[in-house]
A and B are shown apart, each in its own frame.
Chain A
Amino acid sequence: MRYHCRMTRATKDNRKSLRKQLHQVLPKTCILETPEQTIPYESDGLTAYQQKPWMVVLPESIEQVQTIIRLCHKEGVPVVARGAGTGLSGGALPLANGLLLSLAKFNRILDINPANRSATVEPGVRNLAISEAVEKFNLYYAPDPSSQIACTIGGNVAENAGGVHCLKYGLTVHNILQLKIITIDGELITIGSQALDTPGYDLLALMTGSEGMLGIIVEVIVKLLPRPEQAQVILAAFDDVVKAGEAVGAIIAEGIIPAGLEMMDNPAICAAEDYAHAGYPVDAEAILLCELDGTNEEVTEQIQFVENLLTQKGATSLRTSQNTAERLKLWLGRKSAFPAVGRISPDYYCMDGTIPRHQLPFILQKISDLSKEYNLLVANVFHAGDGNLHPLILYDANIEGELERTEEFGGKILELCVKAGGTITGEHGVGKEKIDQMCVQFKSLELQIFHDIKHSFDPQELLNPGKAVPTLHRCAELGGMHVHDGLLPHPELERF
């Protein structure tokens, strides 16, 4: 059967032979093999999953990556690419029988071209480093994941990362021009171009968010934007999450697209305040952070308008940043929400569903019901403007069975998101983690075409196998668990 997972094709002999050849072509400093050396790579940001890689390589040049990939291809040994390992879906989780290819040494900014509003960077460059490097030209790179001090642009492309500013400025896919990729046969190809349109199919869109399954990204040209003349953020407190949710809809219905529009519920507010001392009102049931940017005149006009609107919509208090320091401080609380929650609970599990915004009251109610049912606390952080929820389920991995209950709870939240017309992942990717929920989101036909796309690039499934797209058999086996309206999702497949 063609759907069978082929990831264990490589034999011990293949690996032995690959190891020998890698030692011949790579400097010693580029290879990590001992358990002490490989342990730091056993997890990405989703630490609940651990697997030590067979071997880690840290190439220093594109030619070395080509050689490595060619050898893996020849020996049939799978490869997992890794940027900073901040991914939250186990995308960079290593394979016991596979090579882990770290792009960490590709950390140079190769060119900044202010007139073309672009920068050429290596994949291991940190997201924030780009904006820092182009600041002197009054430009910046717009997508700003909360992990931006650590995560790499290669990882951002592979996950189509977003950030608090993507409501107005788009996701990674909207902010890159060109990629250089090593294909599984070791060829270096260029996808996209320095121009806005490129002939042929939109392979740039296909590569973005492909989770290291289609090729190794070795260079990225990003788009840069002029820094807005002015930016101000309003902090609005509400005594009811539903009211806060309605206020979000009201702002957008008025024809305003804020640069960022974020929401946090009370447990998240308290954790963030305790951690960042941003001055959040800890007695509020929800807060909204609404950033407006543009020219001085525009921002002044809109801030006033939105302040009035928020008051009308029931905000119990408002605070508007008066300078950059205040603005950054207000954001700091939001941007450090995850580590802040990490301090109040031994472990937390971050979900990433997206819903049409008007479904917010429904979802929040359901999450709250489930929280009681599973007896696990939840803190909600929410990219409210674009409907991307990050419920953080608090648990303690040392309590037996709690991780399993947490995962089950999380899975239910994702299924609810699908039911509400949304998706199981807005920005963190499917990886290893959400592979089963893919069976809920898609039918066999779509899953099959995903495999077809994979095979168009990587017929032997050597690039990050076992991630992002479940085999149809896996879905069929799970099918019994996900009976909707009495219908099995994959009736065409045999059950066993």
Chain B
Amino acid sequence: METMNRTRELQDHVRAAFNDKTALKIVGGNTKHFYGNKSNAKKTNVIETRIHQGIISYEPSELVITARAGTPLKEIEALLAENNQMLPFDPPHFGEHATLGGAIATGLSGSRRPFTGSARDFVLGSKIISGKGDVMSFGGQVMKNVAGYDVSRLMVGALGTLGLLLEISIKVLPKPNTEATQVIAMSQQDALITMHKLNQTSLPLSALTYENEKLYVRLSGALSAVTSAQKKVGGETLLHAEKLWQEINEQTFSFFTESNNKPLWRLSVPYIANIDLNENSLIDWAGALYWIHSDKKAEEIQQHAIEQGGSAMLFRTHQVKAEKNAQDCFMPLPAKIKQLHVNLKMRFDPRGILNYGRLYSDL
């Protein structure tokens, strides 16, 4: 296993940037460059985490893996698979070189999320470099830890704006013995009702996803449990289901590729939300996540999401940079919450050098 411990090099890089106030763009595998705002800093300097890679420790019976942030996700997943384990939150790769750091900084989770948990749920500890160039460690390698504030989870989804991730400890889970996917043809209305019903049962669900008149129900667990659940759920058993889930997660599924050049929106809403934007959508997370291609105005989409108790973000767009940057990709925050964000940013990164503007244009 190739390991490259370049903490010092990265730390010197951040310190130098701190001293001459250079904005740093943190790049791992560069597979999620499209996610979030484009940096609006004038003088930007790229800092690459891929020089800092390698699995530091992994003990399957402890259910914990610790790796450097620049470690390729596929290396981690391959090692876990050898031991019949997995990253339980299905992080999308969006490219061959995706790193662990990128997965955690974006905090994205796949279809399994309502049933097993999200990226932040599985983060146990982290080592970071702050915007001042300080190396700090939080949390640890144990499942339960309430010493100090939960800074490790605060890093998840922060897009590197509070710290450059150096190392991350993650709880892993055994791979389910058996997985099967049932497909049931039905309308969106019926699919939502079915999803809500199933979501209140104790069936061994691991995905409830709807697209183009089809409800996909993935079941995971002991063979006997999956077999009996298949009967209860009904529909047809999908062959080669793994490919479907892979395509949905990696957005290579036809829904995502046939966008007609419309921007892709991601709506995170309550399970019971009633999203009606009159656009083509893929519904995941048992009704709690909508992917929508739409060139409607951002305000309209976001307002609809708010009314339904959720939020909307512009996930991908073909628009050029200037246009995209006219507005934050993420929904505006209420004033007091924004103030808390600014306060935290000031403490972790007082000169605003870490991925400035990537999450919100003023963070």
Q: Interface of A with B (CB < 8 Å)?
A: 113-118, 137-139, 159-160, 162, 166-167, 170-171, 173-174, 183, 187, 189-191, 193-203, 205-206, 208-210, 226-229, 249-250, 252-253, 255-257, 294-298, 300-302, 354-358, 383, 386-388, 421-430, 434, 438, 441-443, 445-446, 449-450, 452-453, 455-457, 468-469
B225, B288, B337: the one contacting A195 at CB < 8 Å is B288
Q: Are B84 and A196 in contact (CB under 8 A)?
A: no
Chain B residue with the shortest CB-CB distance to A385: B143
Q: Are B154 and A196 in contact (CB under 8 A)?
A: no
A200, A423, A434: the one contacting B337 at CB < 8 Å is A200
Interface string of B335-357 (1 = CB under 8 A from A): 01110110110111000000000
Interface size on B, residues (CB 8 A): 87
B150, B177, B221, B310: the one contacting A173 at CB < 8 Å is B150
Q: Are B140 and A421 in contact (CB under 8 A)?
A: yes
Chain B residue with the shortest CB-CB distance to A423: B145
Chain B residue with the shortest CB-CB distance to A139: B200
Q: Are B196 and A295 in contact (CB under 8 A)?
A: no
Measured between C-beta atoms, what is the minimum distance from A484 to chain B in Å? Answer: 16
Q: A117-B199, A227-B202, A446-B136 are in contact. Are A429 and B221 (CB under 8 A)?
A: no
Q: Are A426 and B202 in contact (CB under 8 A)?
A: no
Q: Are B336 and A187 in contact (CB under 8 A)?
A: yes
Q: Are B144 and A456 in contact (CB under 8 A)?
A: no
The interface stretch among B69-77, B113-121, B241-249 is: B113-121
Q: Are B200 and A189 in contact (CB under 8 A)?
A: no
Query: What residues of A have a CB within 8 angstroms of the CB of B202 in the complex?
Result: 226-229, 294-295
Whether, in the assembled complex, B166 has its beta carbon less than 8 Å from a beta carbon of chain A, the answer is no
Q: Are B148 and A297 in contact (CB under 8 A)?
A: no
Query: What residues of B have a CB within 8 angstroms of the CB of A427 in the complex?
Result: 144, 146
Chain B residue with the shortest CB-CB distance to A226: B202
Q: Are A173 and B153 in contact (CB under 8 A)?
A: yes
Chain A residue with the shortest CB-CB distance to B145: A423
Whether, in the assembled complex, B222 has its beta carbon less than 8 Å from a beta carbon of chain A, the answer is yes
Whether, in the assembled complex, B41 has its beta carbon less than 8 Å from a beta carbon of chain A, the answer is no
Can you list 12 A-B contacts (CB < 8 A)? A116-B272, A189-B334, A196-B288, A197-B157, A198-B268, A200-B337, A200-B359, A201-B157, A205-B154, A209-B146, A449-B347, A452-B347
Query: What residues of B have a CB within 8 angstroms of the CB of A139 in the complex?
Result: 200
Chain A residue with the shortest CB-CB distance to B224: A297
Q: How far is A411 from B159 in the complex, measured between Cα atoms in Å?
A: 38
Q: Are B144 and A162 in contact (CB under 8 A)?
A: yes
Q: Are A194 and B340 in contact (CB under 8 A)?
A: no
Measured between C-beta atoms, what is the minimum distance from B17 to chain A in Å? Answer: 18
Q: Are B174 and A257 in contact (CB under 8 A)?
A: yes
Query: What residues of B have a CB within 8 angstroms of the CB of A173 in the complex?
Result: 121, 150, 153
Q: Are A115 and B59 in contact (CB under 8 A)?
A: no
Q: Are A256 and B147 in contact (CB under 8 A)?
A: no
Measured between C-beta atoms, what is the minimum distance from B118 to chain A in Å? Answer: 7
Q: Interface of B with A (CB < 8 Å)?
A: 59-64, 84-85, 107, 113-114, 117-118, 120-121, 130, 134-138, 140-151, 153-154, 156-158, 162, 173-175, 177, 196, 199-204, 221-225, 227-229, 268-273, 285, 288-289, 309-311, 313, 330-331, 333-334, 336-338, 340-341, 343-344, 346-348, 359-360
Q: How far is A208 from B113 in the complex, measured between Cα atoms in Å?
A: 20
Q: Are B146 and A193 in contact (CB under 8 A)?
A: no
Query: What residues of B have a CB within 8 angstroms of the CB of A174 in the complex?
Result: 117, 121
Q: Are A255 and B145 in contact (CB under 8 A)?
A: no
Q: How far is A191 from B338 in the complex, measured between Cα atoms in Å?
A: 11
Q: Are B145 and A426 in contact (CB under 8 A)?
A: yes
A191, A193, A302, A356: the one contacting B142 at CB < 8 Å is A356
Q: How far is A189 from B336 in the complex, measured between Cα atoms in Å?
A: 7
Q: Are B62 and A356 in contact (CB under 8 A)?
A: yes
Q: How far is A295 from B157 in the complex, measured between Cα atoms in Å?
A: 34
Query: What residues of B have a CB within 8 angstroms of the CB of A162 in the complex?
Result: 144
Q: Are B143 and A386 in contact (CB under 8 A)?
A: yes
Q: Are A205 and B142 in contact (CB under 8 A)?
A: no
Query: What residues of A have a CB within 8 angstroms of the CB of B268 in the complex?
Result: 195-198
Q: Are B113 and A428 in contact (CB under 8 A)?
A: no
A195, A229, A388, A441: the one contacting B147 at CB < 8 Å is A441
Q: Are A200 and B341 in contact (CB under 8 A)?
A: yes
Q: Are A426 and B196 in contact (CB under 8 A)?
A: no
Measured between C-beta atoms, what is the minimum distance from B181 to chain A in Å? Answer: 17
B144, B154, B201, B313: the one contacting A202 at CB < 8 Å is B154
Q: Are A294 and B121 in contact (CB under 8 A)?
A: no
Q: How far is A113 from B228 in the complex, measured between Cα atoms in Å?
A: 28
